[in-house]
Amino acid sequence: MSRFLGEPGDGPMTVRSLGQQLFIHHALSDDWTLQAGASYRDSELKGFSTEANKLLADGRSLNRQRRHRNFSATDVSARVELLGKFRTGTLAHEVLAGVDAYHFDDQRVQLRRNPSAANAYAIDIFNPVYGGKADPLALSIDTQEGQRARGLYVQDQLDLGAQWKALAGVRHDTYTQDVRNNRLNVSNRQSLSATSPRAGLVYQPSKAWSLYASAAKGFRPNSGISIANQAFPAERSRSYELGAKLETGKLTGTVAVYDIRKRNVLSTNPVNTDFAIAAGEVGSRGLELDVSGEVARGLRVSGAYAYTNATVTRGDATIMTGSRFANVPRHSANLLATQQMALGTGTASVGGGVQYVGERLGDVAVSSSFTLPAYTTARLLASYTPDARLRLALNVENLFNRSYYASSYSPLWVAPGAERTLTLNAHYRF
């Protein structure tokens, strides 16, 4: 439907993202290492757009809205870590201790005009006639947000003997958020802190097999403000995982089951898609299986399968308790095989694979029965390395140009998947 929405005056949306990263690694001794990193990112989204608002009962007349966005953000972060090894009696320790911090500034200005009875700004999706005029845009969002966060963390991996290892760690976060709604002249400030422990245990009955269990709590601040001009509470989580790993040299594999609970997960507000809503509590239970290795001379195969049962475990009048979480498939899988061979004085490889994504719920509204259909896409990849310096690679995604839908916000806001895409890369080492 999106191809029928635009008007000549929309033009392309300007998207800009610039960033720099720095990483330093310094060995203090044979057993102790100091490492540090910093990053800076500046981004912008700006331009006009024409978007779906409501499909009328005739199934072809689409009322539209028009918007102009001017969003910009800067993100600066840094961390310093100390890694070391030592022994206490019969116990061997590998420790990691560090501090990190980030500053995030976000400014959003949006002009918007919804359709009205006098000007529906409508279009016939089966016989579109362009050139419609929306009413003058009005200011709908004008916010400034600043986030300041600091974290301290330490963990210790203990070697308990030939077959047992344990890990224990803890992280403490402090966070301050200032949000100002310039349109309504309202300001919000909140200061949060949390301590998040984690622990794990590994048992190795043989060199090839490892059995493990882990448990952790998490804390992540949420950005933005609600439709009621309130800052969102932080996302908090707790997770448990049990699994087994296999490593034989030529074959590796992992199987795991997990149970994750998250509170205050942000999702699109179905009442007004300009805003987000905290989805109460979300639970995810599932199984993950992956295996890879060389099954014959030069032939490598990898595959993965995931079963994910993600549901809203505590909702409200907007999001129903027990409903599936939007855009999360219950079943997904992928398979990839590549054959490497000698070609002239160099080496070449050719391969292909498939990816399957199951049916997904399309939005989080209480009365929603809208789903995105399952799809399967294929890919082709090949490479040629004539010598140690040059490598050529060709990738073809969505080989058969399958039409599919990658994600959605609502029945009228659906993102189509990418069409067949060819990428040719050349890498030369001087």
For 257-286, how does the pLDDT look when each residue is reduced to its tens digit (9 = 90+)?
A: 999 998 888 776 767 766 777 777 888 999
Confidence (pLDDT) at 226: 79
Question: 326 or 322: which carries more pLDDT confidence?
Answer: 326
Cβ burial of 425 (10 Å; 0-12, 13-18, 19+) is exposed
Separation between Cα atoms, residue 256 and residue 162, nearest integer Å: 23
Q: In which band, very low, low, confident or very high, does the pLDDT at 392 lie, cut at 50, 70 and 90?
A: very high
Report CA-CA distances (Å) from 378 to 62, 298, 331, 347, 387. Answer: 34, 22, 17, 24, 30
pLDDT (tens digit per residue) in 87-140: 998 899 999 999 999 999 999 999 999 999 899 999 999 999 888 888 999 999
Mean pLDDT to the nearest integer, 9-24: 79
Separation between Cα atoms, residue 379 and residue 202, nearest integer Å: 37
CATH number where 267 lies: 2.40.170.20
Would you say residue 366 has pLDDT above 60? no
Would you say residue 228 has pLDDT above 90? no
Cβ burial of 363 (10 Å; 0-12, 13-18, 19+) is buried
Separation between Cα atoms, residue 68 and residue 47, nearest integer Å: 6
Query: Which candidate, 366, 375, 364, places its Cα nearest to that of 408?
Result: 364
Q: In which band, very low, low, confident or very high, does the pLDDT at 156 lie, cut at 50, 70 and 90?
A: very high
Confidence (pLDDT) at 168: 97
Mean pLDDT to the nearest integer, 9-31: 83
Q: What does DSSP assign to residue 194?
A: E
Angle at 99 between CA 98 and CA 104, to 5 degrees: 145
* Contacts of residue 388, Cβ cutoff 8 Å, sequence gap at least 6: 429
Mean pLDDT to the nearest integer, 40-47: 94
- pTM here is 0.82
Separation between Cα atoms, residue 428 and residue 344, nearest integer Å: 19
Percent of the chain predicted with pLDDT > 70: 93
First to last CA, the chain: 48
Confidence (pLDDT) at 237: 93
Separation between Cα atoms, residue 262 and residue 259, nearest integer Å: 10
Would you say residue 421 has pLDDT above 80? yes
Dump the DSSP string for 342-365. Answer: EETTEEEEEEEEEEEE--EE----
What tokens were used for 176? 């301050």
Confidence (pLDDT) at 412: 85
pLDDT (tens digit per residue) in 189-222: 999 999 999 999 999 999 999 999 999 999 988 8
Q: Which domain holds residue 289?
A: 2-428
Q: What is the CA radius of gyration of the chain?
A: 26
Q: In which band, very low, low, confident or very high, does the pLDDT at 40 lie, cut at 50, 70 and 90?
A: very high
| Secondary-structure percent of the chain, ordered helix, strand, coil, rounded to 5 | 0, 70, 30
What tokens were used for 80? 């310093």
What tokens were used for 42? 């500046």
Percent of the chain predicted with pLDDT > 90: 68
* Contacts of residue 173, Cβ cutoff 8 Å, sequence gap at least 6: 149, 150, 151, 192, 193, 194, 196, 219
Question: 75 or 323: which carries more pLDDT confidence?
Answer: 75
Separation between Cα atoms, residue 267 and residue 408, nearest integer Å: 12
Confidence (pLDDT) at 222: 86
Separation between Cα atoms, residue 7 and residue 64, nearest integer Å: 11
Separation between Cα atoms, residue 275 and residue 260, nearest integer Å: 26
Q: In which band, very low, low, confident or very high, does the pLDDT at 326 lie, cut at 50, 70 and 90?
A: confident
* Letter string b/e over residues 313-327, b meaning 16 or more CB atoms within 10 A of that residue's CB: bebeeebbeebbbbb
pLDDT (tens digit per residue) in 59-71: 999 999 999 999 9
Confidence (pLDDT) at 18: 80
Our count of domains for the chain comes to 1
CB 260 within 8 A of CB 281: no
- Average pLDDT of the residues of the chain: 90
Would you say residue 225 has pLDDT above 90? no
Separation between Cα atoms, residue 233 and residue 132, nearest integer Å: 42
Confidence (pLDDT) at 430: 87
